[in-house]
């Protein structure tokens, strides 16, 4: 069963699409993203993501450091565990003075062997945006970290090791 995607449990400072126009290699309309319901776990997950976004969680100025992190939720590259591996993690970092950027990347990717590529493209684009707007967000553009969970960890590792989606 499917349900509409609820708003984030913690409101970000801003959320924006990371690609101007359609994302790379998005050639067909998959329909709307949706929340998976009747899951065994007490958190929500979303699927059918074709428009990647970046949600910004800035710390209170009194706690702010110049540290920042890209948060990449898991979900087996077929869904995103966006609540507890995304929004909650971003808020946790922001509460501790670290600017957090939660990536909602495209899932599912096409083809079992290469479905991570769209997520990697989205992570690369998100990192570029974060670094290009670093002065606006009062962060060090050379000190942006990344944390990923499960499939998000795979994307984060590829982000650190590969250039241009190799």
* Residue range 63-115, pLDDT digits in tens: 999 999 999 999 999 999 999 999 999 999 999 999 999 999 999 766 667 78
Confidence band of 151 (pLDDT split at 50, 70, 90): very high
Does residue 41 surpass a pLDDT of 70?
no
**Dist. CA 145–CA 160, nearest whole Å:** 10
Residue 54: CA atoms inside 13 Å, Cβ hemisphere, count? 23
Higher model confidence: residue 162 or residue 18? 18
Percent of the chain with pLDDT over 70: 92
The residue among 80 and 25 whose pLDDT is bigger is 80
Residue 166 has pLDDT above 60, yes or no: no
pTM of the model: 0.92
For the chain, what is the mean pLDDT?
Answer: 90
Buried b (16+ CB within 10 A) or exposed e, 3-30: eebeebebebeeeeebbeeebeeeeeee
Percent of the chain with pLDDT over 90: 69
- Non-local (6+) Cβ contacts of 86 within 8 A are 55, 71, 73, 80, 102, 103, 104
């Amino acid at each position: 069963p499917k349900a509409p995607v609820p708003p984030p449990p913690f409101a970000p400072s801003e959320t924006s699409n990371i690609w101007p126009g359609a994302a790379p290699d998005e050639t067909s309309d998959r329909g709307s993203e949706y929340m998976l319901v009747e899951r065994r776990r007490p958190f929500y997950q979303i699927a059918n993501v074709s428009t990647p976004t970046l949600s910004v969680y800035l710390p209170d100025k009194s706690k702010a450091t110049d540290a920042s992190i890209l948060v990449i939720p898991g979900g087996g590259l077929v869904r995103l565990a966006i609540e507890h591996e995304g929004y909650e993690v971003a808020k946790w970092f922001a509460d501790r003075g670290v600017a957090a950027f939660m990536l909602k990347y495209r899932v599912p990717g096409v083809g079992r062997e290469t479905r991570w590529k769209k997520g990697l493209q989205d992570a690369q684009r998100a990192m570029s945006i974060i670094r290009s707007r670093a002065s606006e967000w009062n962060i060090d553009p050379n000190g942006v970290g990344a944390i990923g969970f499960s499939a998000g960890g795979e994307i984060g590792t590829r982000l650190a090791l590969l250039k241009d989606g190799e």
